[in-house]
Amino acid sequence: MTLWASIRVALTALRVNALRSALAMLGIIIGVASVIVLVSISEGTKRAVEDQIASFGANLLIIRPGSSMFGGRRGGAGSAPPMTDGDVLAIRNEVAGLSSVSGEVRTATSIVFAGANWQTSIYGVNTDYFDARSWIIDEGRAFSPAEDNASRRLAVVGQTIVAELFDGASPIGQVIRVGGQPFEVIGTVEAKGESNFGTDQDDIVFVPLNAARSRLGAGQRPPTPDPVNTIYADVSAGEDIGRVIADIQDLLRIRRDIAPGASDDFNVSSLAEFIRARNETENQLGLLLAVGAGIVLLVGGIGIMNIMLVSVTERTREIGLRLAVGARRRDIRNQFLIESIVLCMIGGALGLAAGIGGTALYANVGQLEIVVSPLIVAIAVGASLFVGVFFGLYPAQRAASLNPIDALRFE
C-alpha cells in the first residue's frame, strides 16, 4: 500500500469515529497550545525586562545609605547617614573602571507654565547622570558642571512634561516655575515609556543637584550640608564589576569611618547581579513549563495509544482479512502508525492555531509585546509528531502481529 493510500485510509478511519478522534486529540491540542502560550509569554516578559534593564544601563551600580544602629536597635533601610558630594567626587577620582558617576536627590512638587500646572518628580543630578542612566538628550543640551556648581536654575524635561505643559511644542528657552522658583528649560530627553512597575518614566524634570538642594530643599538631611540620596556609577565596558564594587566598598568604609569587622552602613547593588538572578529564575521557570507541557503531551499520548488499541480491537476481522488476501504485516503496521501520526499532526495543527490565538489575545488584553518564536513552534509541532510515532508504535505493532486465522474468527 502506498503512503498516500495509507493516509487516505487513516483519514477515513478518523472521520468515521470523529468524536472519539477529537477527544483523543484534545490532550495534544492542549499540550501544544500551552507550550506556545506559556513560552511566548515568558519570552515577551523577558524582552520587556531586558528593555527595562537597558534603559537603566546594564553595568550600572547603585549606591545608597543602608540601615543604622541606635541604642542596639537597627533602623530601616536608608536610615544611615546619607552619601555626600565628597563621596561622589572620591568615587569618580579614586575608583578605576568607571565611565560616569553622579549623585541624585529627589523631590515632588508642582510645575507651572502659562497658567497650566502639573505635579511631577524633580531629580537633582550631576551632569554625568545622563550618561550613567542612559538618558539621551533629544533636544537642546544638558547643564554643565560649572552650571551645577553655581546652582543655576536650569531644567531638562521629559516628554510627558512637553506634552502636558507645552502641547508638544519645543520648550527650549521657556521658563517654568518649579516649586515657585523660575527655571529655564534648556533640554529635553528621549521618551522611555512606562517602567515594569507601571510608572511613567517620562514624567520627570532634571535640575542641577546643587540647585535642587539650595532652591527646592530636596534631599536635605541636617547636619550634612551636601547630602546625596543615591549615587549612580556606570562601569566601563570590559571592566570587572566585582572588582569595581569591592573598590567602592573599601573606599566608602574608609570615608564613613567603619571599623574593621563592622557591617557596612551602605549598599552597593548591581544590575548585573539582578540579571543573573533573573536568568536563574527564568531557567527554572522554563524547566517547569517544559515539565508541565511534557506531562500534558504524555497524557495526550496515552489517550492516543488507548484510542489506537481500541481501533485495533474493533478492526481485528478487517486486519485478518487483509492479511489473508496478501497484505504484508508492515503494511498493517504502517497503516495504524500513520493513523496515529495523522491524529497527532491534526491535533498539533489545531494546538498551534489555539496557541497563537491565545497568545495574541493575551498580548491584546495585557498590552504586552509577546514573542512567538519559530523555534518554539517547531519544537511544539515536532513534539506532537514524536508523540504520534512513540505512542502509536505499540498498537501498530500489535495489529501487524495478529494471526490471520485468529483475527478472522474474532467476534
Question: 173, exposed or middle or buried, with CB in 10 Å at 0-12, 13-18, 19+?
Answer: exposed
* Rounded Cα gap, residues 108 and 102, in angstroms: 20
Question: 398, exposed or middle or buried, with CB in 10 Å at 0-12, 13-18, 19+?
Answer: middle
pLDDT at 373: 74
Question: 68-71 long-range CB contacts below 8 Å, 24 or more apart?
Answer: 68/265
233 phi and psi, to 5 degrees?
Answer: -130, 125
pLDDT at 52: 63
pLDDT at 51: 65
Helix (H) or strand (E) holding 377: helix 374-400
Cα-trace Rg, the chain = 34
pLDDT at 16: 74
pLDDT tens-place string over residues 164-190: 999 989 999 999 999 999 999 999 999
C-alpha cell at 261: 569587622
Closest CA to 133 of 83, 65, 201, 185: 201
Report residues of the chain scoring pLDDT below 70: 1-3, 6, 48-58, 68-79, 196-198, 271-276, 278-279, 282-283, 286, 290, 366-371, 407, 410-411
pLDDT tens-place string over residues 371-392: 677 877 787 778 888 888 888 8
